[in-house]
Amino acid sequence: MYRTRHWHRRQNDEEVHVFRCAQQLLDRTENMDPNKPPFFGTPGAVHKPEEALIGRGRSLLLPPGDASFGRGRGFELMASAPGGQFGRGLIYPGSEPSTGLARGLPLPSDDGGMGRARGLFLQAVQPSVGLGRAALLHVEPSVMPTPLAQPAKPDSPQGMPSLQAEEEEMAKKSQEEVAVTTPGSSLVSMFRGMGIESSRTTWGRGIMPGVSRGARGEPVTPQVGVSSAIGSEGDGPVKEEMGRGSSWLGQGLVGAGRATVPTMGIGRGPTSSSMLPPGPAAISAGLSPPLTGSPPKEPPMHPEGSPPKAPLQMEASREPLQKAGTKGNPVRVGSNYIAIGCKNDAVYQYHVTFTPNVESMGMRFGMMKDHRSITGDVIAFDGSILYLPVRLNEVVQLKSERKTDGQEIDIKIQMTKIIPPSSDLCLPFYNVVLRRVMKILGLKLVGRNHFDPTCAVILGKHRLQVWPGYATCFKRTDGGLYLSVDVTHKVLRNDSVLDVMHAIHQQSRESFQEVCTKELIGSIVITRYNNRTYRIDDIEWSKSPRDTFTLEDGTQTTFLDYYSKNYGITIKEQDQPLLMHRPKERAKPRGKVITGEILLLPELAFMTGIPDKMRKDFHVMKDLTQHINVGGEQHTQSLKQLLIKMNTIPEAQTELGRWGLEITTDILMTQARTLPQETICLQRASFQPAPDASWSREVTREASISCVPLNCWAIFYPRRAADQVEELVSTFGKVAAPMGLRLNRPTRVELRDDRTETYIKSIHSQLTSDPNLQLVICIITGNKDDLYNAIKKLCCVQSPVPSQAINARTISQPQKLRSVAQKILLQMNCKLGGELWSVNIPLKQLMVIGVDVHHDTSKKCRSVMGFVASLNSTLTRWYSRVFFQMPNEEIIVGFRACLLGALQKYHELNRSFPEKIVIYRDGVSEGQLKTVEHYEIPQILKCFETYQNYEPKLVFIVVQKRVSTTMYSFSGDRIGAPPPGTVLDHTVTSRDLMDFYLMAHSIRQGCGLPTHYISLYNTANLTPDHLQRLTFKMCHLYWNWPGTIRVPAPCKYAHKLAFLTGQSLHSEPAINLADKLFFL
Amino acid sequence: MCPLFSPPLFMQRYQFVVDFVQKYEPKKVLDLGCAECRLLEKLKYHGNGVELLVGVDKDSSAMRTRMYSFAPLSSDYLQPRTGPLAIELYEGSVTQPDPSTCGFDLVTCIELIEHLHLEEVEMFSEVLFGFMAPSAVIVSTPNADYNPLLPGLVGFRHPDHKFEWSREQFQLWALRQCEVFGYTVNFTGVGALAEPHTDVGFCSQIAVFNQDPSPQDSAVQYRSREEPTVYRLLYSVVYPSLSDNNILQKTLVNEVLCRAELVKQSWLSGKWVAKTAPEPYMTGSSVCVSLLDVWSCPRVRSLCGTLRRFTEALVGESRVVLTPGREAVIIPVDDEEEEEEEEDEDGQGTETRWTASVTTEDWDVEIPHNLDSNLHGAKHG
């Protein structure tokens, strides 16, 4: 459908994220940190030589004798070496010689994002080490497990896990074996042999015993907390700095007990990393020390003067990636990032073990709370990992009583890491602090962002309220630690879902349920009683508030009682259906999987967001965008207001000060570049676009690159549009020639009425009677989605022919008819296979591909992925395909068919395959980046193997439109948006990605929102300049808009195609349209 | 501590207060020793007519962690409550008089006094009944008579308890306060035995005091609240409510415009049905919707009560345009096509910079070929 208006909508009103409580977030993120020591991260730390407690770490993939070995960074190395690692360690209790040897053996995994780990107790000879055997000993089968490895208490049973009686025999054997190896000497010689100073040997990973469950008399095998589980992304050795994978506490993770030793880990092992948000990955990468770096100096660790056996030291950070380009003119820009000062020198990471084990997280938190006098008030604790801004002794032993059974619990707090206060590891709990600060400032959490209801703009006519607010989070970028603040708005409605249902009932009584389903499903509601947001996934018509549900404690209660008891709310209407929300299945930290449905009462749920019906209402949208689309001036102003509040309200200051955070009052000012201007080429003429990067005038006055003569076309219209059609056709005739377009008079088909069947029948019969028909034009009165969909279905799927739907309203104004007609003609030309304009593409044998996904909001339909690939050197011919994707289905299946189709077509036209393929991939969420990188890209590379000896260079760029980064430019004292082509490739960019921000489009209203581009793969060796400029060039090529757009044209085409397919066609368009831009 | 009781004893105590509040509808409630503010939270939800909820505790740490949860929810702004509600939390000792604690309808001291030393109890009684002098007081404390029935209990029920009174001791104390300060008292409790084989009373004994009616009573009631002098205000919040005229007006305008818009739309689409209100009519490009039609909306009615107040509220309201005769709301018909964003380019704008030739670049020669092909690719991560 022809629409001249492009809503550059911000996403604020569409937030679909379900509220997650801060603690969960914290837990989850923390638990997934792969670089965290699985148990006692820097194992050497507690060992004293006289106790001969030695841990050693070794990476399998590294050549023996690798320098990294001897450095005190064994753990990090292991964590970062993919493919397979060892954690080996020995524990020699002073009195009773016993040896434990363990391996954490992450399997090299090819499943893209699954990290696996195994803790193995080996009984094998380790020739390279010269140790006879590793044995795992029990101390006394019946002994109560005590906190293990307590150097401070030499008389307590040493840190060996206890085996149970049935393993005694085994243990004895081991003992014997161990006895053969004289621990001291062999170790010493071993280390000597490796050229490692003995003082360094304490580094690396050792077996550290964990907590035994045996203590509680469970018949399980003894808990040997070895599990030196090291996460590995498993994607190949090149990624020497990746140590991804995650770990979680204990339950169920088994260090596969090979041989005979029953092991089980309380330990941490990697879990599926496909679920990981990118954060943790960044964390690990950011903290891995450079392989070749010199050993960092080791500060004295024991303030009280005990011998520094295993000094912990501040984590070093990694070399930044080379991602800065040089081309273009420098331009000073501001961005919505605020530098954060860290007053503290360091943050200390500890590992906390409870002996006997305490399963309940709540109880663990409680016990830690009891020891505030030791830890101080400022703590971040996830149940096992503890962060403090203060330094405790290396090992702190505490005692608590378990209230449920009076059991005394030993709590051991062991320092594992010293991290810089700006480390990624700190972000999760800094962000918790930030949420608290926002709350202190009186802002309301809706979804994930905070809003200020006292500044609400009320649009009474629509019963809407627009709440201004902020999306804030701490980020660690190339420039350091920043607070990223975006100004957002939330549209809320005064209506409860029940109100909306009533309104629907009044309007359409007979199709009530159907309309409700259509309007409500997919929308986000906020509950009246606890402020949570939920997405409506279904409506339970058969249920009512009188129905019962089961509470956590197992009792049954009705909804009526529940709300009355807990919130004092009396439900007014007892006969309302219930709304259903299906939470996304995700494992909670403790391995608990949240499943099941959440039922909500329509009466107690408020609608949020703009309903679809209103979205189509031009006037509402105009009212709304006025409030939502704030310009740079207002943007920076609201930002500053927030900063001032944060810096003046004492409670907020205190809260931030707890972790030593200081928020500066100014936004980031930095230098960006405006890329060189592109030259637009038409058939005969070329020109440089005006500063606002639009060229609607030029393209209507000069001939397009190629035009398809329109000899045979038909126009369908209802009778009352007859005059308008006449006007339109004659205007077409007048404006076509300058654009180089030749067209005959169309066949005019006047319809009796504007019913859908009438249109479809007429078009169908016309197509049958005239097989040469090149194009169908339909004039539609009013917003008729069904009609539009039916026409598109007919013309794109059943009887493929390019089609153009025109809303009668757009051609109703005579003074605008000329320019409207020009634009329609250009669009028609595209649909017929004509080419409008191009820019110079200085890469030969290039194919550019755009991919975008369209998701159906109601989740009723499959997602559609649009695929568009260029076919010629000027990038003016496009091949397009779609494929449907089942939920959770990998895109690659369909992708392969599309890619091969495109290559085939390319070969047909060029007699060769492209040498370089650049893929712009839109529709990738932050969490999917890793999946794309480790699964999708290798699969794409595999596709090329279909052809013999075909190995094109591939560049894979992820396109992210929805980013919170904003750019401001300053001209005099006015704050506006930077010019089109402004690129920012440093400071705010991600530490771990080859990325840049490019704002290609011209801003008419609102703020400068750049698009984020991440180059995940680049075997074509395109330089940052090339990547940036090629991307900018691509943003010039969207023929539906004579100007630059915010994403590369192929992405936009793919989006259009996916949208049309998902909204109207619901099936694959006819293949013979694949080489035309029929979907525009 | 007592899995003997279901619901748990503390819940029963809170429920006792909630029931009392729902029955006698005090407007101002003060909770002494509010700790984690659980009772206040309950009262926030269940105290129908309560307009002021205040909590006081000596130890502010628990309050500090909980206090922000008293902030109004988003929905409180979307549908403002009818009656006012303010919540205040103070740090301070109950043995010290503070003017901000005067004039309450109800003061609750749930499991508080046993945490005071006996001499402090004296000071506290003086402050509570003599200085604060609320209309009603609820005091709960452990009943020592009941202790033998608690399994495994040695000593007091809580290590911080300074004493645990028998029923007799408690009643003695209570009756003396009545005598001195002019109150009447009733004794009750929560947590009774299912089978009362021995007469030990309730697990938690409760005394409910009521101030004797006195001439100065009303004076106290309507005295405006005073600023704290000794106590420290930790948190205070005023809920948006319709008792705030600005909010009422805003809500009303909202409803009026929405209703008028609906009537307009139904009239324009021919679905308007004549009931009691006059039919809408056109003036110029606007539709005039009768105020009576708007008034027929229940939501509007509930906001204003009477038609007179309704019309008065709309007069002088800039957001609602009335007809000169003030009998109808004017709603513009907006099916006009809006101005397109794009200005007509013809004849204005900058001149096109036509270029004769395109400068040809060749990136292929610029590409560093000999580098490891994975340089930008898989390496980072």
Q: Any idea how long chain A is? A: 1080
* pLDDT tens track for A970-990: 887 788 888 999 999 999 999
Q: For residue B235, give the chain A residue with the closest CA.
A: A440
Q: Nearest C-alpha of chain B: how many angstroms from A827?
A: 17
Determine the pLDDT at residue B186. Answer: 94
- The span from the CA of A455 to the CA of A466, in Å, is 9
Domain membership of residue B52 as a residue range: 2-238
pLDDT band (50, 70, 90) for residue B89: very high
Residue A246 has pLDDT above 60, yes or no: no
Identify the domain boundary among B238, B256, B281: B238
Tell whether the model's pLDDT for residue A1013 goes beyond 50: yes
In chain A, what residues touch B258 (CB-CB under 8 Å)?
A: 460-463
Cβ–Cβ gap B381/A241 under 8 Å: yes
A303-307, A814-818, B21-25: least confident range? A303-307
User: H helices of chain B, where?
Assistant: 9-24, 38-46, 60-66, 74-78, 118-125, 167-181, 217-221, 245-268, 291-295, 298-304, 307-314, 363-366
Nearest residue of B to residue A436, measured between CA atoms: B68
Residue B164 pLDDT: 93
The answer to whether B301 contacts chain A (CB < 8 Å) is no
Residue B153 token pair: 């209990």
Is A1055 in the active site?
A: yes
pLDDT-derived band of residue A358, with 50, 70 and 90 as boundaries? confident
Taking 50 as the threshold, does the pLDDT of residue A96 lie above it? no
> Based on the domain organization, do B164 and B251 belong to the same domain?
no
Strand partners, A715: A748, A777
Check: CB of residue A151 under 8 Å from CB of residue A395. Answer: yes
pLDDT digits (tens, 9 = 90+) for A625-634: 888 888 888 8
Detail the DSSP E strand segments found in A675-756: 680-681, 686-688, 713-718, 747-751
Q: Say if strands A347-355 and A380-381 run parallel, antiparallel, or are unpaired.
A: unpaired
Indicate if B299 and B208 belong to the same structural domain. Answer: no
- Based on C-alpha coordinates, what's the Rg of chain A? 33
Beta bridge partners of A119: A104
pLDDT for the residue numbered B24: 92
Both tokens of A867, joined, read: 């695929």
Of A966, A365, A427, residue with least CA distance to A668: A966
Please name the helix (run of DSSP H) or strand (run of DSSP E) that holds residue B343, with its range, or none: none
Q: Contact, A145 vs A220, CB < 8 A?
A: no
CB A773 within 8 A of CB A799: no
* CA distance linking residue A899 with residue A882, whole number of Å: 11
ipTM for this model: 0.77
Q: What's the gap in Å between the CA of A384 and the closest CA on chain B?
A: 22
- Residues A394, A415 contacting (CB under 8 angstroms): yes
Task: Of A258-272, A609-623, B46-60, give the lowest mean pLDDT range.
Answer: A258-272
pLDDT of residue A241 exceeding 80: no
Q: What average pLDDT does this structure show over A164-192?
A: 40
Query: pLDDT category, A104, cuts 50, 70, 90?
Result: very low
In tens, the pLDDT along A168-177 reads 444 444 444 4
Interchain contact A220–B (C-beta under 8 A) = no
User: What local confidence, expressed as pLDDT, does residue B169 receive?
Assistant: 93
What is the maximum span of chain B, computed from C-alpha positions, in angstroms? 110
Distance CA A548, CA A624 (A): 41
The yes-or-no verdict on residue A137 having pLDDT over 90 is no
Q: Give the pLDDT confidence score for residue A855 in this predicted structure.
A: 83
Residue of A203, A168, A167, A172 lying closest to A47 (CA atoms): A203
Domain count, chain B: 2
- pLDDT greater than 70 at residue A161: no
B82 sits in the region (left: phi over 0; alpha: psi -120 to 50; else beta) called alpha
Antiparallel, parallel or unpaired: β B286-290 and A661-674: unpaired
Mean pLDDT of A759-780: 92
Average pLDDT, chain B: 83
Residue B225: per-residue pLDDT: 75
pLDDT of residue A851: 92
> What pLDDT does A317 receive?
64
d(CA A247, CA A141): 29
Whether B359 and B226 map to the same domain: the answer is: no
Domain's final residue, options B199, B218, B238:
B238
Pairing of strands A533-535, A524-527: antiparallel
Taking the C-alpha atoms of residue A756 and residue A746, their distance in angstroms, rounded to an integer, is 21
Interface of B with A in 222-251 (CB under 8 A): 240, 250
Cα–Cα distance, A496 to A498 (Å, whole number):
5
**What is the predicted pLDDT for the residue at A123?**
36
Residue A312 CA to residue A300 CA, distance in Å, equals 8
Do residues B216 and B264 both lie within one domain? no
For residue A929, give both structure tokens: 């980046």
Q: What is the pLDDT of residue A913?
A: 93
Whether the CB of B370 is below 8 Å from some CB of chain A: the reply is no
Phi, psi torsion values for A284, nearest 5 degrees: -65, -40
What is the C-alpha to C-alpha distance for residues B265 and A710, in angstroms, rounded to an integer?
43
Catalytic residue among A922, A933, A992, A1025: A922
Between A471 and A464, the more confident residue is A471
Q: Measured between alpha carbons, how far is A92 from A135 in angstroms, rounded to an integer?
A: 11
How high is the mean pLDDT of chain A? 73
pLDDT computed for residue B253 by the predictor: 87
Predicted pLDDT at A331 = 92
Contact residues on chain B for A1016, CB-CB shorter than 8 A: 377
Tokens of A957: 């760029």
Asked if B360's CB is within 8 angstroms of A840's CB, the reply is yes
Taking phi over 0 as left and psi of -120 to 50 as alpha, with beta for the rest, B140 belongs to beta
B205 with B93, same domain: the answer is yes
Structure tokens given for B270: 């021919």
Maximum alpha-carbon separation in chain A: 105
Assess contact for A101 and A89: CB atoms under 8 A. yes
Contact B346 A697 (CB under 8 A): yes
Spatial separation of the C-alpha atoms in residues A818 and A803, rounded to whole Å: 21
Mean pLDDT of A772-787: 88
Rounded to the nearest angstrom, the gap between the alpha carbon of residue B237 and the centroid of all alpha carbons in its chain is 8
* Shortest alpha-carbon distance between residue B352 and chain A (Å): 7
Active site (annotated) includes residue A495: no
Mind listing the pLDDT tens digit for each residue in B90-142?
Answer: 999 999 999 999 989 999 999 999 999 999 999 999 999 999 999 999 999 99
B181 and B280 in a single domain? The answer is no
* B380 → closest Cβ in A809, A813, A994: A994
**Residue A890 falls in the annotated catalytic set:** yes
| Calpha distance A764→A775 (Å, rounded) | 13
Look at residue B245 and tell me whether its pLDDT is greater than 70: yes
- The whole-number average pLDDT for the span A123-135 is 34
Asked whether the beta carbons of A89 and A41 are under 8 A apart, the reply is: no
CB neighbourhood size of B298 (10 A): 8
Residues B233 and B249 in one domain: no
- B319: contact with A, CB 8 A cutoff: yes
- The verdict on a CB contact (< 8 Å) between B360 and A465 is no
Q: Does residue A528 sit at the B interface (CB-CB below 8 Å)? A: yes
CATH of the domain at B136: 3.40.50.150
Q: Residue A803 in contact with residue A780, Cβ under 8 Å?
A: no
**Alpha helices by DSSP H, A932-977:** 937-944
Q: Is some CB atom of chain B closer than 8 A to the CB atom of A233?
A: yes
**Same domain assignment for residues B215 and B259:** no
Q: Is residue A112's pLDDT more than 70? A: no
Q: Which of B78, B368, B374 sits opposite A494 (nearest CB)?
A: B78
Looking at residue A858, its pLDDT comes to 60
Interface of B with A in 321-350 (CB under 8 A): 334, 337-338, 340-342, 344-346, 349-350
Of A688, A843, A1016, the CB nearest to B364: A843
Q: Which of A1062, A587, A1037 is nearest to A838 (CA)?
A: A1037
pLDDT digits (tens, 9 = 90+) for A594-638: 557 888 999 999 988 887 777 777 777 877 888 888 888 888 888
Tokens of A461: 């006519």
Asked if residues A479 and A668 have their Cβ atoms less than 8 Å apart, the reply is yes
Last residue of a domain, one of B238, B255, B271: B238
Claim to verify: residue B362 and residue B217 sit in the same structural domain = no
Of A1015, A834, A995, A841, the C-alpha closest to A914 is A841
pLDDT value for A249: 35
State both tokens at B310.
Answer: 């309704």
pLDDT for the residue A333: 92
C-alpha A328, offset from chain centre: 31
Report which of A225, A204, A214 is spatially closest to residue A160, judged by C-alpha positions.
A225
What is the β-pairing status of strands B86-91 and B232-238? antiparallel
Same domain, B232 and B262: no
Give the HSE-up count for residue A164: Cα atoms under 13 Å, Cβ half-sphere.
16
Helix, strand, coil abundance in chain B, percent, nearest 5:
35, 20, 45
Span A565-587, average pLDDT:
83
* A852 is annotated as an active-site residue: yes
Whether B141 and B173 share a structural domain: yes
pTM of the model: 0.72
In this structure, are B221 and B262 located in the same domain?
Answer: no
Q: Is the dihedral of CA B314, B315, B319, B325 positive or negative?
A: positive
